[in-house]
Structure 1
Amino acid sequence: MAVQRVAVLGAGSWGTTFAKVLADAGRDVTIWARRTEVAEEIRTRHTNSSYLPGVELPDRITATADPAVALAGAEAVVLAVPSQSLRENLTAWRDLLPSDAILVNLAKGVELGTLKRMSEVVSDVTGVRPGDVVVVSGPNLAKEIAQRQPAAAVLACADHDRAVAIQEASFNSYFRPYTNTDVVGCELGGACKNVIALSCGMAVGLGFGANTVATLITRGLAETARLGSALGADPLTFAGLAGVGDLVATCSSPLSRNRTFGERIGRGETMEAARAAQGGQVAEGVSSCRSIRELANRLGVDMPITDAMYRVCHEGVEPATVGAELLGRRQKPEWS
């Protein structure tokens, strides 16, 4: 299942960065951009100043605003749009997808309404088995990787051969991908970490330090693992790149959109002002805290940090109020 020709559908920061990873691994990549001017800039100047200012893109990358052009002859298709718009976009692209292409998903989230993971959404729309979708997760802050700083990722797919094909297509001198067959665990780790990053940002915005952030990371990992256990994930996944690795990076770095969004809310900014400050980039945790909370409630899983983020983002409760409530919860053993 050798992959040489790749289409990346989405020209945001992570989609463009992953295209760069593939090109630096010797693959020929075409990016589909929603805006014609972004596609033209990538194609003619080899830059994407809207999302990756100051980064030069390899000559192996080209771009188009026509999805049919991007998908023609692709051996792998990388889906790089926000989680809550994946179904709509993929429905529009469905009839253009090459029948034998490996589908790769970058979005991290749980769909509102259906409460489905992204691989399940891809399956719904395309008819491929959920286990045949390759899921990319791990500590992958786009700007650092675009600068060729060393990083690792996990490529999860029940079909090991598909994961290996994308592993070989993306492995280069600075990007080290590992494979994993636990799609459920990798997707949940990637979705839940955005919500926990919101809480860490809010804590920093409120003036709290490393102890508070470390506590939220650790207890956030615990509630993510509880949800994963209820859905049949492998507990070891949460100790790996898609679990603690992604969680630490997203919760600790000012490059994280979710951490930065939370920090603005913690400092007292409104949701509207925090969204405007993102410059059009999506903080996935704001939507995911709603869908993950609903999924947890359906399964009877206790996720207090996720519930707190839902109340702040969707019910207008002050961050300081939910913080005090988290500290005042009933005492219990750590692993109960």
Structure 2
Amino acid sequence: MSKIEKVAVLGAGSWGTALSIVLADNGHEVRLWGHKPDQIEEINQHHSNQKYLPNIELPNNIIGYSSLEEAVSGLDLIVLAVPTKAIREVLGKVRSFQKSPLTIVHVSKGIEPDTFMRISEMIQEELPKDLYESIVVLSGPSHAEEVALRQPTTVTSSSQNITAAERVQDLFINQHFRVYTNPDIIGVEIGGALKNIIALAAGISDGLGYGDNAKAALMTRGLAEITRLGVKMGASPLTFAGLTGIGDLIVTCTSVHSRNWRAGNLLGKGKSLQEVLDNMGMVVEGVRTTKAAWQLAKKYEVNMPITDALYGVLFNNGNAKAAVDELMGRVKTHEMEDLTI
């Protein structure tokens, strides 16, 4: 286990809180920042975060902060656990008062529409070079609900700086939470982001009443799409056979814990996108990522039929059943030829 450290986790949702529990279990001093004062008061007074992790008792060494400046004061490592759409806003505030370089660990999964940026690229754009020492991605098949219950979970720590990746590995690893390292930050980020698209599609398939055969096909062909685009963007194809590729795809497409699967399931049952988002009450990263991936597919001239079909359903009022039927009726091809990278 690593030396005891002070760590700020920015984002008091389910994932930020679950990771705070892992860090606290390892003996670290954890500052959990959130922008809702009543939530922070609950964390400090009752050691709970009922909205996001009901019936979970938080360790005493997790201290809630409503002041972002106080949360990061005197630290050299922060865990960025806010939704993709909030990253620039939060980093802009950090930039306004931070004076020394940080190691930034981001745990969100998404791609920014229009800019096509991965989260590590957004961080690099938002912070001056003298304010970040290293950027590390922590990603993999990991539901917050299970991590908070200390059920066995395995993830990947990825960075261009292997020393930073190993520091984060040491920070988090314990008997319940195993951490591997991987230098392919592009592949880790692409796999973590794009699996949410396939999870939406899998949820739609289930919502339509289709069976395991259809979902297995969507997951397998979806992995081929993710790999094709990822490799075009500079990722290693081997990464997509690992935890942040097929591992994350399996857990997100098959579990009721997955908010992307749940959103797709509601779409398959006939709800509108706005109704689904209102019903969820939490960010569904796959919606924004579908738009970004659709744009990237055009830019890199990569064939992504599942992404195309989902884009039509989400943004062009397409019919979910017709989209699935269209996927099944595509022109015949050889599987291995279609998988060729």
Q: What's the secondary structure of 2:151's corresponding residue? A: coil
Please say if residues 10 and 33 of structure 1, whose CA atoms lie closer than 8 Å, have aligned partners that are also in contact: yes
Structure 2 partner of 1:258: 260
Counterpart CA distance in 2 for 1:301 and 1:98 is 42
Structure 2 partner of 1:286: 287
State the shift of 1:333 in Å: 1.2
Structure 1 partner of 2:171: 169
State the shift of 1:168 in Å: 0.6
Counterpart CA distance in 2 for 1:98 and 1:207 is 55
Q: What's the secondary structure of 2:302's corresponding residue? A: coil
Deviations 1:182-206 (A, max 9, x none): 0000000001000000000000000
Counterpart CA distance in 2 for 1:181 and 1:127 is 23
Q: What's the secondary structure of 1:133's corresponding residue? A: strand
Structure 2 partner of 1:134: 136
Counterpart CA distance in 2 for 1:255 and 1:97 is 36
Equivalent AA in structure 2 for residue 305 of structure 1: I
- Confirm or deny that 1:268 pairs with 2:262: no
Structure 2 partner of 1:153: 155
Counterpart CA distance in 2 for 1:301 and 1:100 is 38
Q: What's the secondary structure of 1:30's corresponding residue? A: strand
Counterpart CA distance in 1 for 2:4 and 2:230 is 31
Equivalent AA in structure 2 for residue 244 of structure 1: I
Please say if residues 250 and 256 of structure 1, whose CA atoms lie closer than 8 Å, have aligned partners that are also in contact: yes
Deviations 1:240-262 (A, max 9, x none): 10000000000000000000000
Q: What's the secondary structure of 2:250's corresponding residue? A: helix
Question: How many residues get paired?
Answer: 335
Counterpart CA distance in 2 for 1:149 and 1:102 is 28
Bigger mean CA offset, 243-252 vs 96-105: 96-105
Counterpart CA distance in 2 for 1:147 and 1:174 is 10
Structure 2 partner of 1:71: 72
State the shift of 1:99 in Å: 2.1
Q: Equivalent of 2:196, from 194, 197, 211?
A: 194
Identity %: 42
Tell me the TM-score normalised to structure 1 length.
Answer: 0.97
Please say if residues 76 and 100 of structure 2, whose CA atoms lie closer than 8 Å, have aligned partners that are also in contact: no
Structure 2 partner of 1:22: 23
Please say if residues 8 and 32 of structure 1, whose CA atoms lie closer than 8 Å, have aligned partners that are also in contact: yes
State the shift of 1:74 in Å: 1.8
Counterpart CA distance in 2 for 1:77 and 1:2 is 16
Q: What's the secondary structure of 1:228's corresponding residue? A: helix
Structure 2: state its 5+ residue gaps: none
Counterpart CA distance in 2 for 1:310 and 1:107 is 21
Tell me the TM-score normalised to structure 2 length.
Answer: 0.95
- Confirm or deny that 1:314 pairs with 2:319: no
Equivalent AA in structure 2 for residue 35 of structure 1: K
Deviations 1:40-87 (A, max 9, x none): 111111100111111111111001110011101223101111112211
Deviations 1:10-49 (A, max 9, x none): 1011011111111111111101111001111111111001
Equivalent AA in structure 2 for residue 115 of structure 1: F
Bigger mean CA offset, 241-250 vs 39-48: 39-48
Please say if residues 122 and 128 of structure 1, whose CA atoms lie closer than 8 Å, have aligned partners that are also in contact: no
State the shift of 1:3 in Å: 6.4
Structure 2 partner of 1:204: 206
Please say if residues 75 and 102 of structure 1, whose CA atoms lie closer than 8 Å, have aligned partners that are also in contact: yes
Counterpart CA distance in 2 for 1:278 and 1:90 is 26
Counterpart CA distance in 2 for 1:125 and 1:3 is 29
Deviations 1:101-157 (A, max 9, x none): 210001111112211000000000113499931011100111011111100000110
Counterpart CA distance in 1 for 2:15 and 2:95 is 22
Q: What's the secondary structure of 1:221's corresponding residue? A: helix
Q: What's the secondary structure of 2:32's corresponding residue? A: strand
Equivalent AA in structure 2 for residue 271 of structure 1: L
State the shift of 1:269 in Å: 1.1
State the shift of 1:309 in Å: 1.1
Structure 1: state its 5+ residue gaps: none
Residues 305 and 98 from structure 1, CA distance in 2 versus in 1: closer, same or farther, beyond 3 angstroms? farther
Counterpart CA distance in 1 for 2:129 and 2:223 is 31
